[in-house]
Structure 1
Amino acid sequence: MPLIILCGYPSSGKTKRSEACKVYFEEKHCKRVTIISDNSIGVKRDQVYSDSKEEKDTRGSLKSGVQRAISKDDVVIVDSLNYIKGFRYELFCVAKSSQTPHCIIHCEVNAQKAKEWNALRPENEQYSNEIFDALVMRFETPDSRNRWDSPLFTILPDDDLPGQQIYDAVFLRKAPPPNMSTVSQPLSSTSFLHELDKITQDIVMALLNAQKTSFPGDEISLPKAADKIKLLRHVTASELRRWRQQFISYTKQHPVEDTGVIPNMFVQYLNNSLV
């Protein structure tokens, strides 16, 4: 059944909106709703988001929870920061491979108001100021022009939940057809594999060369990609080889019809890996 992905700043009201969605679907449309959240997987927020490895493991746990929960009977809601567009893309691929629609709910609030709400939380549930500011800075606003961020519902603090619109978006919209995620033709296509290999190799070589004249904090343009790599630190060739192989394996499992999107997908994957 449909996947609903919440995103927004820390303490921006995502859990409140998730619970409102759950009530709406269960009361109005008699749908069973499963919420996958930081709390449901036992995340200690301030601890996790201060350690890149723990944060990456947490995203893996959230994704695994979604994969287990998606079924013909449940509406699945992901209540977490989901602030990295590369991770939202991964969740989109999970929905697509399950042939079910999805949508994004962006809880939009200014950072100062979110910080005030954070201070009202119980002390053991608060984000420290340092972690809060870092997460706000790294938040990648959803863009409805990206298929993984569409349909997009942007909800302000005083807005009512657009329950019927969300229902229409995920129940009255056709699920992605099988050939978007399950057909094997691209994998048997020599040209597809060749393009995948060449594009990723060109980007890796360009990044390694750019590092020679760049400094931490620089943004690096890469071949055929609109997005840029934010160079947070020096990246080794072995790291890039490993990430490239992981991306290639993932893309073989979730092939795309338009190879022109691969450069941006790979750059987003690298930015995600660098967090």
Structure 2
Amino acid sequence: MKTILITGASSGIGKATALRFQAEGWNVIATMRDPSGGAELGALDNVHVTRLDVTDANSITASVAEGIARFGRIDVLLNNAGYGAYGPLEGFSTDRIRRQFDTNVIGLLEVTKAVLPHMRANRSGTIVNISSIGGQITFPLGTLYHGTKFAVEGLSEALHYELEPLGIRVRIVEPGMIKTDFGGRSFDFAMDETLSDYAPTAEAMGRLFGKLASDPSGPELVAGVIRDAANDTSDRLRFRAGPDARALLDDRKAQDDATFIGRIKDVMKG
């Protein structure tokens, strides 16, 4: 029986993926900052809920060791934990900037580093990193979030080269707009009255997101794509999740900067 370790498994994509893999007969190490939120998952067979905060090195080491002790091995790592920081760059303190990169980038790297010795010893394993359409295209006021997701795309592609000879695959999943709590507790928006110069851009961003998120996909759809990525044995690196992701990323690939960015600006104008 194979085992997957999932970060950020308390809700959204992480929880949906834990349920999907458990239903398909996998062992699941469902990690989260507060394990008290994992009661539903913990009640299932072959699911081990444990604490892992991607910004806490000790919790990473402990949860990986705990998962291996429970199930004997880790076949797939899903780096899912993350959140979105949006707003004018001026609105973010240095601490908030670092928190965004510590969670979405450094945390992902630290969890990967913790699992790699195990996978390298086994000469097998798959690492699935959750990126976003925002790892290929950008939206207004997303300097920090897009910066982290562009980083995830780059580091994943580079890791692909260095890990493939060791029998370890790397996969990138790029969801579009998804019905999760991204706009709630997973969203950090910075704007106050001293930054009124940016208010028109913030209003335009609201119109843009309203149109893009008019028919979001469910997290279960992303879980299915993650399942495909985890089981794929080809050389494929990127997996898109959702019809909007496919359409937007195809458009971005086909158009030059001025054309695509011009279209985004047109939508912002309403």
The question of a shared fold, defined as TM-score above 0.5 by the shorter chain, is answered with no
Instruction: Pick the structure with more strand per residue.
Output: 2
**What is the TM-score of this pair, normalised by structure 1?**
0.37
- Whose helix proportion is higher, 1 or 2? 2
Question: Larger relative CO (CA 8 A, sep 6+): 1 or 2?
Answer: 1
